[in-house]
Amino acid sequence: MRNHRNTAVVALVLAFGACQDLDVENPNAPDQERAITTPEDIQSLIASSFYSYFNTLERNCYPSWALGVAADEGTSSWGNCGMQDISSEPRAAFPNTTAYGYRNVVVSPWYRHYDMISGVNDGLRAIADGLEIGDGGEHNPRAIAFGKFNQGLAHGFLALQFDQAFLFTEDMDLATTEFELQEYDVIMTEALQMFDDAIAAASTSFTLPDTWINGQSYSNTDFVKLVNSFAARYMASVARTPEQRAAVNWQEVINRIDQGITSDFGVLLDDQTWESIYKERYQNSTWFRLDYKLLGPADVSGNYQAWLSTPAGSRQPFDITTPDRRITGDSPTEDGTDVYYRAPQNFQASRGTYHFSHYGHKRYRSIQQTQLGFNPLMTVTEMDLLKAEAYIRLGQPDLAVPLINKTRTSRGQLPPVTATGASGTDCVPRTESGACGDLMDALMYEKRIEGIAVASGLAYFDARGWGTLAPGTPYHFPVPAVELETLQLAPYTFGGIGGAGAAN
């Protein structure tokens, strides 16, 4: 970890120019000169901020694809967007240099999120200076609530991905403030406070227009539920190690979930501006397959344990025998409800046959085919399973059982688990030894299967907190080398077997 104090020539100043290089497209954003003078454009500036978040994590391959394969959720040996480098075995340190071809794994989310934050800050600053949106400022609370929410989303994701970042709020003057790189936990604390500020502002009745989060019109009360659910996700996801995950304030996570969403959250895709390249490629058998480390615990034949015991360089794809009907039909080669079977492999053997898999994801195939319809970004199932984890952590397994069994028995058509976990001759999940998994194993399995490609980075953030990342995988990423160069700071990185900030 590093702390450095620097004046205003930092990421916050560079964000706009850097994002132009990254080809950020936000057609809803107004002209910056006009945005600071008219109420309509201030509102438009704040209204467009969630699109910036969506654009970074769903419409762009960086960092979503790399985080997915780093978690061994998806598997791919293609170099695109850093996938081969970050998922190859043995894991190597992340190449944090300005010359690295896939530097946008860190450059893109860093600058895009600061660009988003800067726009929100401009809007909030104008309101604080007396600008009124609507008659007598009637729409100011809505703009403040939405702005603080998105300010928190961006800071929070920076805290999830990077070891340190800058705090940048509407109260900070770029000309005079000395900005300090602060550690991720400090940034997350500030992000959660921004969420609470959004909740406080939403005490006034309002309705979000359905263009702000495309296709979704929220009352202020439903908006508060959404903010609470994101707070719960971030509180658990920020942990880097099993020890940190265990130390999460799990009772507060439950409190937030109980005040959170009661239906799935997402956006309506339009095949133009609102489209998900992330989910589209995850359904594409040429680009992605599902990793055996994701699906293998469902196998009851012993093939998965044999695959694990084989040296990585010699591993070959195998058929999964499982009673989980999300993964297969009645036979290992028959499609399940969420997973398809494909025998041919599209990846290059020279890059490691451990990348090969017969199985791919199809739950969002309609998104792949049309880029139309509802695109989930957070589900009630995710919240149920996060709450189940909280109950397990708090020593209340009986309360976790029905939450785990909701999707396990209905969509998976698996026998229900008990407080001791899975059991029986065809038990799912199974551990690396082939034994029936305990309740925590069942929780992790269910969340991973139900959560495939729902949200960028979610599988990765869970895996590091659960301690299931492959050895050598970085459990967070460094400040981009281009930023370190600008700040005249020494380069550093994470990952690699035995390396700093790496799973062991």
Contacts of residue 27, Cβ cutoff 8 Å, sequence gap at least 6:
273
Report the CATH number at residue 252. Answer: 1.25.40.390
Residue 397: is its pLDDT beyond 50? yes
Token pair listed for 205? 């009745």
Give dist(CA 81, CA 184) in Å, integer: 24
Of 253, 293, 185, 241, nearest to 389 (Cα)?
A: 253
Give the number of domains in the chain.
1
Classify residue 149: in a domain, yes or no.
yes
Contacts of residue 23, Cβ cutoff 8 Å, sequence gap at least 6:
none
**Rounded alpha-carbon distances, angstroms, from residue 276 to 60, 239, 374, 389:** 8, 27, 11, 29
pLDDT in tens, 429-454: 999 999 999 999 999 999 999 999 99
Of 246, 221, 210, nearest to 392 (Cα)?
A: 246
Label residue 161 exposed, middle or buried (CB < 10 Å: 0-12, 13-18, 19+): buried
Q: Quick one: which H or E segment has residue 265? A: strand 265-270
Contacts of residue 151, Cβ cutoff 8 Å, sequence gap at least 6:
49, 117, 120, 121, 124, 169, 191, 194
Q: pLDDT band for position 8 (50/70/90)?
A: very low
Residue recorded with tokens 């071809």: 101
pLDDT in tens, 462-501: 999 999 999 999 999 999 999 999 999 999 999 999 999 9
Classify residue 102: in a domain, yes or no.
yes
Contacts of residue 443, Cβ cutoff 8 Å, sequence gap at least 6:
385, 388, 389, 392, 400, 404
Residue 32: is its pLDDT beyond 60? no
Domain that holds residue 143: 5-274+472-486
pLDDT in tens, 376-396: 999 999 999 999 999 999 999
Q: pLDDT band for position 175 (50/70/90)?
A: confident
Q: pLDDT band for position 28 (50/70/90)?
A: very low
DSSP code per residue over 416-473: PPBTTB--STT-SSB-TTSPBP-HHHHHHHHHHHHTTTTSTTHHHHHHHHHT-SPTT-
Q: CA angle, 113 as apex, 165 and 99 as ends, to 5°?
A: 75
Classify residue 457: in a domain, yes or no.
no
Classify residue 140: in a domain, yes or no.
yes
Token pair listed for 273? 């501006």
Classify residue 329: in a domain, yes or no.
no
- Measured from the Cβ of residue 217, the count of other Cβ atoms closer than 10 Å reads 12
Within its chain, how far is the Cα of 341 from the centroid?
Answer: 26
In percent, the amount of the chain with pLDDT more than 90 equals 91
Classify residue 480: in a domain, yes or no.
yes
Residue 137: is its pLDDT beyond 50? yes
Classify residue 502: in a domain, yes or no.
no
Token pair listed for 435? 């034994």
Q: pLDDT band for position 23 (50/70/90)?
A: very low
What's phi and psi for 99, nearest 5 deg?
Answer: -90, -10
Residue 24: is its pLDDT beyond 90? no
Cβ–Cβ under 8 Å, residues 139 and 43: yes
Give dist(CA 315, CA 101) in Å, integer: 28
What pLDDT is stored for residue 12 in this prediction? 55
Classify residue 309: in a domain, yes or no.
no
pLDDT in tens, 119-128: 999 999 999 9
pTM: 0.94
Whether omega before 429 lies within 30 degrees of 0, making that bond cis, reads yes
